[in-house]
């Protein structure tokens, strides 16, 4: 079968072009969501007359009603519905769904083009990071002095939980969402994702999730932190229902996105792009979503059991009804530790990708990079109970879990070797993306070493639940992960927006954020070692110095992030126009014009070598003539010829 | 370009300018790291009040010292590459690329061997320390104390002393003590920072932790698991007193000795 035949579209039967789907957008989605939420609230209110659980049942039904109504009103179910009644989408309908010739309006519709979805993810991620960052500023302001009284205990406890959850969800999507969607299909030489409608579905589910998540703040808050430990979650107010429903929606979104990205990468790489010629960033994204596929169903299962507990009196986690809080913790951390690598691997892989470009050298030992990623993926599902050393669950297993945890440091060291080896004797071009590589190495070595302390059981007995842990995982998820995402954003910004990021404001923001970051979390290590627990609204005067340092550092981060936000908005609007390949990179996304046309490639590329041939003599033989496949041609028979 | 050519001309890699300067940087960073590791953690974690905490601080210092050369490798390369190999001005398409090094079997092997050896060291040390803090004391009969967490107070009960109950923890110095920890409502976590012990208080279950307090004084007992509204206030004092003082305290509370 030739490439051309692969792209032949089946003739579509029935149904004229158009229909109601052309009138649907985010506005009709919100309207339908509110209507269905209201209906669900009234109907379920009548049905559930059990007074113990009535509040929670009504709240949950309202939120589920909102989510389904929003997705239906947006047009997410139009395609499957028309297929079921035998009137499939016509080719013109498919092009409409892909956002053809719709300008800015396509960003507010259920649009299937992977580039639109990528931009939507980027904006959504920035909104969530902004919300989580604002909460962080409130938390740090409260902790500026031992008894500031800035926030009450209930507000504070809820803020800590919502900050954590917001940031975890945002960091999970921050690389695979924007860049996995926008860049990966371009990088592998594909016209779109394998399942474009699922792609749009995964994005809009997250939009439906956000109001549910933040409704928790108005429903009594969440008393139990982002981890949602039971049985305190069983006794919490209706805010906990919002937490559960938000997690369920997020888990569906992750599953859909994970299946889609995996299929795309495995089946849609350009001709000649063997696994040894596939760029390392594609491996990073693949590893992340493959790891998320088994991880998030664990979280979903944990929340479904909690839902049965809270809405129907199940008692899975309530000891005096035969339940087991440790069951929740095991399910939660079976998601929770792989999730750390879901966040880290694609961020570090993006930095590997761009380090080769800015050092003007091949990636050092591609093989070690790939094997390290595979080893981390494999080991990361075997370490979850190191979060439970101090819980009292199965003390005999502490030794084995310490072993698996410490073994992860070996492939993690492999990632360091690849990046340091790539920098070795390179011709270092210190752009903002490459500076993010340097910052990541600095932060990740601190995050990694402090992780080793926590993997040691006796040390963990002392440090678990203290500010030391908080500082440690901020060093990994923020210092390494978020820094990597900022580097990726700065690197691919010219391709995604067609404009260059501002140089000066980028560097000012970089130094403010990185210095502020290290000040904040070194202060937090300090108070953690001195004995301050996590998640406390006030603390002993003895810990004042470290907390004051932390808060000052946090304000630096906040200022730097605002400058970065300004830079992004201003450059997007009126930055210098970017050339097709501003960095002189060799991956395929830099061969397409700006703005990237609807089906990406006029002629599908054929790959004959990997993308890291810096400083190597060009291939002696010319590349074979690529198969000609016309963009947007429904016959797929070379409109270009 | 001078330095890369110099590197190639050197007869052995360790005679190259890169290797010598990097080695120097690495040595400086390692020394600084070791000094930091020997002073700062001990200082921040305060004076130990039990044999467990002594072990915790020893491990913390040992791991910090062992980490110093590792972090120094990364720091030295960061500083050196920015200092020596940095391009002046922006890249243009006519610029020559860097040397096409696609990996070096010997260097990769050494790196992997060193990190595996360090990992093995951590594991052996960790298992030894774990068996030392988890093993029941043999020297004398341990004092058993039932600890109950509830929103948001701790209650300590002394079955050996006729079931005396107290909201302050009293411990005789130099006598092993076993805490049997449980909760009346949600999960709490029983933590005495100065003694290096922590275990969750789970409703419906009993967990244990043990130590031997070895210094007189008043220390904090804290809750280390978010347990609701007044989690931050769930604190009390741990008094480590002489054996005689402990006995008189117990009888003053109405208990037996």
For strands B169-172 and B236-241, give the pairing: parallel
> What was the pLDDT predicted at A633?
45
> What was the pLDDT predicted at B228?
93
10 Å CB burial of residue B127 (0-12, 13-18, 19+) is middle
pTM of the model: 0.93
Question: For residue A636, what pLDDT band results from cuts at 50, 70 and 90?
Answer: very low
* Residue A17, in any domain of the structure: no
Interval A206-222 mean pLDDT:
96
Express each pLDDT in B96-117 by its tens digit.
899 988 988 888 999 999 999 9
Express each pLDDT in B109-150 by its tens digit.
999 999 999 999 999 999 898 888 777 656 678 999 999 999
Express each pLDDT in A134-181 by its tens digit.
999 999 999 999 999 999 999 999 999 999 999 999 999 999 999 999
For A251-276, letters b (16+ CB in 10 Å) and e give bbbbbbbbbbbbebbeebbbbebeee
CB A613 within 8 A of CB A586: yes
Provide the 3-class DSSP secondary structure of residue B107: helix
A423–B77 C-beta distance less than 8 A: yes
Distance from CA of A218 to the nearest CA of B (A): 17
Express each pLDDT in A495-542 by its tens digit.
999 999 998 999 999 999 999 999 999 999 999 999 999 999 999 999
Distance from C-alpha of A45 to C-alpha of A477, rounded to nearest angstrom: 42
> What was the pLDDT predicted at A206?
98
Interface of B with A in 188-207 (CB under 8 A): 189, 191, 193-194, 196-200, 202-205, 207
B193–A462 C-beta distance less than 8 A: yes
Interval B233-249 mean pLDDT:
96
- What mean pLDDT value characterizes chain B? 90
**For chain A, first and last CA: distance in Å?**
20
Interface of B with A in 138-167 (CB under 8 A): none
Interface of A with B in 540-579 (CB under 8 A): 540
Q: Using the 8-state DSSP alphabet, how is residue A79 labeled?
A: H
Provide the 3-class DSSP secondary structure of residue A293: helix
CA neighbor of A486 nearest in space, from A421, A564, A549, A546: A564
* DSSP structure string for B39-102: HHHHHHH----BHHHHHHHHHHHHHHHHHHHHHHHHHHHHHHHHHHSBPSS---TTSPPPP---
* Residue A238, in any domain of the structure: yes
Interval A7-12 mean pLDDT:
53
For strands B153-158 and B188-192, give the pairing: unpaired
> What was the pLDDT predicted at B104?
83
A409–B100 C-beta distance less than 8 A: no
CB B189 within 8 A of CB B209: no
Question: For residue A3, what pLDDT band results from cuts at 50, 70 and 90?
Answer: low
Chain A interface includes B126 (CB < 8 A): yes
Among the partner-chain residues A224, A429, A615, the one whose CB lies closest to the CB of B87 is A429
Chain B interface includes A429 (CB < 8 A): yes
CB B112 within 8 A of CB A628: no
Query: Residues of B with CB below 8 A from A391's CB?
Result: 199-200, 202, 207
Distance from C-alpha of A535 to C-alpha of A532, rounded to nearest angstrom: 9
* ipTM for the complex shown: 0.93
Distance from CA of B6 to the nearest CA of A (A): 12
Express each pLDDT in A539-550 by its tens digit.
999 999 999 999
Question: For residue A111, what pLDDT band results from cuts at 50, 70 and 90?
Answer: very high
Domain that holds residue A352: 113-574
B202–A392 C-beta distance less than 8 A: yes
Query: Residues of A with CB below 8 A from B53's CB?
Result: 462
CB B63 within 8 A of CB B106: no
Chain A interface includes B44 (CB < 8 A): yes
For strands B177-183 and B153-158, give the pairing: unpaired
Give the CA distances from residue A337 to residues A341, A377, B96, in Å, rounded to whole numbers and listed in that order.
7, 11, 43
* Residue A635, in any domain of the structure: no
> What was the pLDDT predicted at A639?
37
* Residue A89, in any domain of the structure: no
Distance from C-alpha of A324 to C-alpha of A329, rounded to nearest angstrom: 9
If one counts the domains in chain A, the total is: 1
* Residue A407, in any domain of the structure: yes
A427–B87 C-beta distance less than 8 A: yes
> What was the pLDDT predicted at A81?
87
Share of chain A above pLDDT 90, in %: 84
Question: For residue A280, what pLDDT band results from cuts at 50, 70 and 90?
Answer: very high
> What was the pLDDT predicted at B6?
45
Chain A interface includes B182 (CB < 8 A): no
pLDDT greater than 80 at residue A622: no
CB B33 within 8 A of CB B76: no
A391–B44 C-beta distance less than 8 A: no
B196–A438 C-beta distance less than 8 A: no
* Residue A595, in any domain of the structure: no
Chain A interface includes B41 (CB < 8 A): yes
Interval A553-559 mean pLDDT:
97
Distance from CA of B248 to the nearest CA of A (A): 31
* Residue A201, in any domain of the structure: yes
Residue A399 sits at the vertex; the CA angle it makes with A453 and B110, to the nearest 5 degrees, is 60
Share of chain A above pLDDT 70, in %: 94
CA neighbor of A29 nearest in space, from A213, A196, A205: A205
- What mean pLDDT value characterizes chain A? 92
CB A304 within 8 A of CB A311: no
> What was the pLDDT predicted at A547?
97
Distance from C-alpha of A501 to C-alpha of A485, rounded to nearest angstrom: 15
Distance from CA of A11 to the nearest CA of B (A): 47
Interval A188-198 mean pLDDT:
95
Q: Residue A299 belongs to a domain with what CATH number?
A: 1.20.210.10
- Across the A:B interface, residue pairs with CB atoms under 8 Å apart total 266
* Residue A532, in any domain of the structure: yes
Express each pLDDT in A81-105 by its tens digit.
888 887 888 888 888 889 888 889 9
Chain B residue with the nearest C-alpha to that of A421: B103
Question: For residue A4, what pLDDT band results from cuts at 50, 70 and 90?
Answer: low
Chain B interface includes A235 (CB < 8 A): yes
A456–B59 C-beta distance less than 8 A: yes
Give the CA distances from residue A396 to residues A342, A399, A401, A402, B212, in Å, rounded to whole numbers and listed in that order.
28, 7, 10, 11, 22
> What was the pLDDT predicted at A635?
42
Distance from CA of B254 to the nearest CA of A (A): 32
B45–A319 C-beta distance less than 8 A: no
> What was the pLDDT predicted at B132?
81
> What was the pLDDT predicted at A320?
86
Question: For residue B63, what pLDDT band results from cuts at 50, 70 and 90?
Answer: very high
Specify the residue for token string 């379920």. A44
Express each pLDDT in A22-77 by its tens digit.
889 999 999 999 999 999 999 998 887 777 788 999 999 999 999 999 999 999 99
> What was the pLDDT predicted at A634?
44
């Amino acid at each position: 079968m030739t490439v051309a035949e692969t792209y032949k579209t089946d003739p579509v039967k029935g149904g004229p072009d158009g229909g109601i789907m052309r009138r649907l957008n985010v506005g009709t989605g919100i309207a339908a969501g509110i209507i269905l939420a209201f209906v669900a609230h009234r109907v379920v209110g009548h049905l559930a007359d059990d007074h113990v659980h009535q509040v929670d049942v009504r709240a949950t039904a309202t939120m589920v009603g909102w989510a389904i109504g929003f997705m239906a009103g947006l047009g997410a179910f139009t395609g499957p519905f028309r297929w079921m009644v035998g009137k499939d989408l016509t080719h013109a309908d498919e092009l409409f769904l892909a956002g053809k010739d719709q300008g800015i309006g396509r960003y507010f519709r259920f649009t299937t083009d992977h580039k639109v979805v990528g931009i939507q993810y980027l904006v959504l991620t920035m909104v969530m990071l902004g919300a989580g960052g604002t909460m962080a500023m409130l938390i740090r302001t409260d902790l500026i002095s031992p008894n500031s009284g800035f926030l009450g205990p209930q507000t504070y406890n809820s803020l800590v939980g919502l900050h954590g959850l917001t940031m975890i969800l945002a960091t999970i999507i921050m690389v695979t969402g924007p860049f996995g969607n926008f860049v990966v299909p371009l990088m592998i030489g594909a016209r779109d994702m394998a399942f474009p409608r699922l792609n749009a579905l995964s994005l809009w589910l997250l939009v439906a999730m956000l109001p549910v998540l933040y409704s928790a703040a108005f429903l009594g808050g969440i008393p139990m932190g982002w981890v949602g430990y039971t049985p305190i979650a069983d006794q919490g107010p209706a805010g906990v229902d919002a937490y559960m429903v938000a997690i369920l929606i997020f888990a569906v979104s992750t599953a859909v996105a994970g299946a889609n990205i995996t299929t795309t990468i495995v089946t849609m790489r350009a001709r000649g792009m063997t696994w040894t010629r596939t760029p390392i960033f594609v491996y990073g994204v693949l590893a992340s979503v493959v790891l998320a596929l088994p991880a998030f169903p664990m979280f979903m299962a944990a929340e479904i059991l909690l839902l049965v507990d809270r809405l129907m009196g199940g008692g899975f986690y309530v000891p005096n009804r035969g339940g087991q809080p440790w069951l929740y913790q095991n399910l939660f951390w079976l998601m929770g530790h792989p999730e750390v690598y879901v966040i880290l691997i694609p961020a570090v892989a993006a930095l590997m990708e761009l380090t080769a470009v800015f050092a003007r050298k091949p990636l050092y030992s591609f093989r070690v990079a790939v094997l390290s990623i595979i080893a981390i993926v494999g080991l990361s599902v075997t370490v979850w109970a190191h979060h439970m050393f101090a819980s009292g669950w199965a003390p005999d297993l502490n030794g084995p879990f310490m072993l698996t945890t410490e073994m992860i440091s070996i492939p993690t060291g492999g990632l360091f070797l690849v990046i340091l080896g790539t920098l070795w004797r390179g011709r270092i071009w210190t752009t903002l993306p490459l500076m993010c590589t340097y910052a990541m190495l600095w932060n990740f070595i601190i995050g990694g070493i402090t992780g080793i302390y926590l993997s040691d059981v006796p040390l963990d007995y002392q440090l678990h639940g203290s500010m030391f842990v908080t500082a440690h995982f901020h060093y990994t998820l923020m210092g390494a992960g978020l820094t990597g995402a900022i580097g990726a954003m700065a690197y691919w910004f010219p391709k995604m927006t067609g404009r260059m990021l501002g140089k000066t404001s980028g560097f000012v923001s970089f130094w403010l954020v990185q210095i502020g970051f290290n000040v904040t979390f070194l202060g937090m290590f300090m108070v953690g070692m001195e004995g301050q627990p996590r998640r406390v609204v006030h603390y002993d005067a003895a810990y004042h110095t470290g907390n004051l340092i932390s808060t000052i550092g946090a304000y630096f981060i906040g200022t730097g992030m605002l400058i970065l936000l300004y830079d992004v908005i201003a450059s997007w609007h009126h930055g210098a126009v970017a050339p097709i390949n501003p960095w002189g990179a060799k991956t395929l996304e830099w061969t397409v014009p700006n703005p990237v046309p609807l089906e990406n490639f006029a002629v599908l590329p054929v790959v004959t070598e990997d993308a890291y041939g810096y400083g190597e003599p060009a291939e002696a033989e010319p590349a074979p003539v690529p198969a000609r496949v016309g963009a947007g041609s429904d016959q797929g028979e070379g409109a270009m010829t | 370009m001078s330095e890369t050519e110099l590197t190639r001309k050197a007869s052995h890699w360790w005679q190259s300018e890169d290797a010598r300067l990097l080695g120097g940087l690495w040595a400086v960073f390692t020394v600084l790291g070791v000094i930091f590791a020997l002073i700062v953690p001990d200082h921040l974690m305060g004076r130990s009040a039990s044999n467990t905490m002594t072990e915790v601080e020893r491990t913390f210092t040992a791991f910090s010292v062992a980490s110093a050369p590792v972090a120094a490798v990364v720091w030295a390369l960061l500083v050196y590459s920015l200092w020596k190999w940095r391009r002046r001005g922006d890249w243009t398409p006519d610029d020559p690329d860097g040397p096409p090094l696609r990996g070096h079997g010997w260097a990769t092997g050494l790196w992997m061997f060193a990190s595996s050896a360090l990992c093995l060291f951590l594991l052996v040390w960790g298992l030894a320390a774990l068996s030392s803090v988890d093993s029941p004391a043999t020297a004398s009969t341990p004092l058993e104390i039932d600890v109950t967490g509830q929103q948001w107070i701790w209650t300590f009960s002394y079955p050996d002393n006729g079931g005396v109950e107290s909201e302050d923890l009293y411990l005789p110095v130099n006598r092993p003590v076993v805490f049997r920890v449980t909760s009346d409502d949600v999960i709490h976590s029983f933590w005495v920072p100065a003694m290096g012990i922590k275990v969750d208080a789970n409703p419906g279950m009993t967990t244990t932790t043990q130590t031997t307090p070895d210094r007189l004084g008043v220390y904090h007992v804290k809750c280390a698991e978010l347990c609701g509204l007044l989690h931050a206030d769930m604190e009390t004092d741990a008094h480590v007193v002489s054996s005689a003082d402990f006995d008189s305290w117990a009888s003053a509370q109405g208990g037996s000795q």
